Each structure stands twice: as structure tokens, then as C-alpha cells.
Structure 1
Amino acid sequence: MTKPYRFPDHQVAGDADTTVFLLHGAYGSKDYFRHEIETLVKAGLRVVAWDAPGYGISPLPPDGLSIERMAETAGCLIDRVGSRTNIVLGHSMGGVMAPAVCAARPDKVHAVVISATVASFSQKSEEDKKNFLAERIEPLRQGKSFRDTAGAVIDSMFAPGSQGPMVELVREVALSTSSETFCAAIQAIVDYDGMANLKALKVPLLLLAGAHDKVGRPEGMKNIQSSFVPHADYACLPASGHYAFAEEHALFNQHLLDFIRGRVTARA
């Protein structure tokens, strides 16, 4: 059995029989979900948002990070604060992790939502992996500050013209990430082969892509549906990059709530 990390710091909001667990990406923490939490609670759902190990006020484990151990830790969170129906919504790194959380707790996860991510980095070429790491980690290893290094990368992840308080919140929270944690997380993502867990998904799955996303490219997310999980629902948000929950907040949540009401709570 995979050993979990320290029990994660988290926020619980709302009171309902259906809980949405929000798993953030490699840049950021639960704090960039502030508006998402408010919208889901007002829609009648309960929400749990965590700080993954090393993020926010959760300490970085001394032996680094792995997707498998983070998924088991998220499973422990579901054990403790889950409800009758539990939905795991993973964004970016959280989306890589979400199928592993379902595999870790198959009797307690009733649906999965994957936002803006890849099926598995095991499917990428060695050259793609090398470039992904070099762009994000090499400048930090050369002594440059995270804020100086990450700013341009984060800005490039939004769609042209994306702006407003939700976008600014994501940007500022993302820039607050610890460089040590970030390096550990990016290495964990590249090292993880998640295809088996993705192909094994039997619960309802929603895939949400941004048309301008250069990381969780829409064609790659669509391929998850066509090649690996044919029962999945898929939606592409036309004016979004990597952070559709902030860039097209209303449309993102229209797709999300329609999925929850139509395929999850009705089924439960």
C-alpha cells in the first residue's frame, strides 16, 4: 500500500451530501480557488479544497513528492471529510492526480473532473519532457528567483486578452509557490505514468479544456475521451487558456454543474 504524506491542510465550505474536492496545479495552492469555492457552495454543493504537500501551509515532505503518495494523501482526506457523494476535480497537476485518487478510493469517489492537463507524461517524447523541465526548472537551478522565472511562463498560460480579478488572483497565488516545492512537483509529474489509472476509470468523467491552452492542449484532452475513456464528457472553452475556471468562470461552471446534476447526483 502506498504510504500517505502528512494529513493535508484544507478548507471545508458549504453543507450538502455532494462534496467537490478541489485539487490545484503545480503553480499555486487552494487559495486560487476562492471564487470557484463560492460559486459551487452557492450552487448547493459542499467543497473541500486542499493545499497539496509542500503548498500553502502544508510542509514539503523531506523525501520530495510523488503523484502516487499525493493521491493516497488525498484519499485520506476523502476518508475523513468526504460525504455520501464525492467528486474529485483536479486542475493541471491535480488532473494528473485525480484518476489515481479514484484508484486509491474506488468505493468513495463517484465522479472525476479533469481540467487542463495531459493524459500522462509517459506518453510524451523524451524531448518534450526535457523541454518541459528545462523551461520550468533550469532557471531556478541557476539561482534565479521563482517570481522572476515563473512570471512569463504563467502569463503565457492564459489566453490572449484574459483579464479581471479572477485571473489576477490565479497569477498572484501561482507566483507565491515555493521554488523547492515547484521543482519537486514538476519532477513528480514527469516521472508518473498514469495511463493505467486513467484507462481504469469507470465513474463519470468530465474533461474541460481551454482552446488556447499550451499545456493541457484541447486535442490531447479530446484524445483522452476518444482513445482511453469513451464514456467521458468533453467540453472546450473557446476563450480560455490553462485556467478556464478563472478565465471563463461562468461557462466553466455551467459545464461543471450540468455534469454534476445530470450524470452524478441524478445517478446517486
Structure 2
Amino acid sequence: MAVDAAFVNIDGPWQHRFVSANGARFHLAEVGEGPLVLMLHGFPQFWYTWRHQLLALSDAGFRAVAMDLRGYGGSDKPPRGYDTYMSTLDTASVIRALGEGEAVVLGQGLGGWIAWCMPVLRPDVTRAVASLSMPHPRVMRRAALTDRRQREASRWIARLQRPFQPERDLVRSHDCVASLLREWSSPFGEYPAADDIERYGTAMQIPFVAHSAAEHYRWIGRSTLRPDGPMFMRRIRHRIEVPVLHLQGTEDGCVLSRSTAGSGAYVAADYTRVPIEGAGHFLTEEAPEQVNRALLDWLDAMD
């Protein structure tokens, strides 16, 4: 039985809304008033992974907004447009659609990859960025090419390059999502619980989400063999002129902590790297208190 996209409209102190931006419609969860902080989730999740941060940031005087990326959750799922250039344009367009001139952009995993690119590709709307569980894309690429352990940890991206089969695996049952959540989270914690697997496994069964989610990574993988990949890496080599916060779990099974050193070389402004001891890839849910404290300390220091 197909899952309706309304599944992601989970009740809480936030407001669900849709905005039209960059030729598509995006689902958002929003709470609070003040300077805009826009949050981008990773794979295989949706906006709900930021629920703890939505509350902490709104309580601290920020307008906290978590969006479903193109192809995920309640956002539109067009047949194309899953390259990083389009993702940063989506993000910039959502910021403008919310009536704001700029925002602090937070990203987890895939969202972190996008966040790193915002100050270079969309500098006019980017006040600062925080990346969780993702180093600068050039650092990530180098690690995937030169570090055997990171290459093994990233093998799932190669599996996503196959046509049709990854989508079938993702929607057939919750087993595929459960495997990713377990492999990437800390072996010392209690995440994921059964309801986490149910929530994210079901969201992946929303029509077209599995395909769209894979398409983001298909562009990242296949572009390395085409001219647009090296061109993209050249574009983002320029040093970032806004503050950057980088949070990394020491037990991340997807992006190994040992693979994330060196991102500061691409930041001309203030760069802060905070290791989250004992946490894995899904920092917003595995270590919400540590993440909230690091985010609020960083945001306070910018004022």
C-alpha cells in the first residue's frame, strides 16, 4: 500500500507549511521568531531529524525552519534536478520565499554537503553554515579516493548507482533503511530504536522518494567521471568567507572521523570543529543535547 506524503506532517509545536521556490514546492516545519536558521536533513531521513534543534533554536530566539529536500518527504519529486548546484539554488530560493535576505544554514550528511557549498555558490543568502557528519566536499572526495576504510564505508554510494534495484530494496521493506541506520550510528548508543526504523523506513516508501533520494547520490557518484564533476570541485575550492561550524561524531560509520580533517583549509573566516564523543552519523538524534549546546554557543559567538 502506498504511503501518502502527508505522513511527514508530524504533530508538534511547529507549523507545517509549503513554499514555492525554484519551480518546485517544498514542505517545511517552522517554529519561532528571529533570525532565520534553515536546516537540511540527510539520507535516509527527512525534516523530522531536526526536531530537537527546532525547539532549542526557537527557544533561543531564532526562526527555526527544517525543510524536506527536493525529492524527500512532502516536497516535490520532479524527475530531474538532483545535482548539488540545484540543491543550493533550492535552498537559496526557499530562504527568499520565506521573506528573508539571508540565513544560517545547517546541514546533516547530504544536507551538510549542500551547506558547505552555499557560501561559494549562493553567497548572497548565506550568513554562516554548520555541517554535521560531513567534511568539506573536497576533503570527502579525497578521503573516498585515498583512504581504504573510508572507501569501504562509502561503498553504499556505488550500490546506489545501479538502476532500479536500489529503489526496490528501499521500498520493499524497512530492512534497507534499518541496516543503514544501524551501520552508521554509534555501536555504543541506543539509536536507532524501533520507532526510528518505522518512521524513516515508511517515509522512504512515499511514492518516488526512494528514486529521488538515490538521484542525489547518483549525481555525486557519476559526475566524478564526467566534466561536470571536476568543474564542480574547482568551483568550490575557493575559501569560505563566513563562519563555519563542523560537528563530527567519533563513531560515525558512514563518514569516518579520521576522514574529516582538513576542512578548515577551505575557510577564510572562523572555523570551529567540535568532535561529539561516542556519537555516530545521526548526531541530531544520537546526541541532541551536545548538538544543541554546540550550535547555540556558536551562534551566540557570532553576535
The counterpart of 1:184, out of the listed 209, 215, 225, is 215
Aligned amino acid, residue 216 of structure 2 = A
How far apart are residue 125 of structure 1 and its match? 2.2
CA distance in 2, matches of 1:235, 1:28: 23
Residue equivalent to 2:31: 13
CA distance in 1, matches of 2:284, 2:240: 23
Gaps of 5+ in 1: none
Task: Tell me how large the CA RMSD over aligned residues is.
Answer: 2.8
How far apart are residue 238 of structure 1 and its match? 0.4
- Say if 1:168 and 1:247 are closer, same or farther in 2 by CA, change over 3 A: farther
Residue equivalent to 1:254: 293
Residue equivalent to 2:251: 212
- Counterpart secondary structure, 1:99: helix
TM-score by length of 2: 0.75
The counterpart of 2:279, out of the listed 218, 231, 240, is 240
CA distance in 2, matches of 1:159, 1:199: 33
| CA deviations over 1:211-252 (Å, ceiling 9, x no partner) | 001223223333212x33264100000021001121111111
Aligned amino acid, residue 36 of structure 1 = Q
Does the CA-based 8 Å contact 2:70-2:76 persist in structure 1? yes
How far apart are residue 26 of structure 1 and its match? 2.3
| 2:118 matches 1:110 | no
Identity across aligned pairs (percent)?
21
How far apart are residue 53 of structure 1 and its match? 0.9
Range with bigger deviation, 140-149 or 69-78: 140-149
- Counterpart secondary structure, 2:125: coil
Does the CA-based 8 Å contact 2:135-2:246 persist in structure 1? no
| CA deviations over 1:172-209 (Å, ceiling 9, x no partner) | 44322232122112213333545643643110000000
Does the CA-based 8 Å contact 2:120-2:238 persist in structure 1? no
Does the CA-based 8 Å contact 1:140-1:149 persist in structure 2? no
Does the CA-based 8 Å contact 1:8-1:53 persist in structure 2? yes
Gaps of 5+ in 2: 1-20, 224-228
Residue equivalent to 2:84: 67
TM-score by length of 1: 0.84
- Say if 1:137 and 1:156 are closer, same or farther in 2 by CA, change over 3 A: farther
Aligned amino acid, residue 216 of structure 1 = V
Does the CA-based 8 Å contact 1:65-1:185 persist in structure 2? yes
- Say if 1:199 and 1:236 are closer, same or farther in 2 by CA, change over 3 A: farther
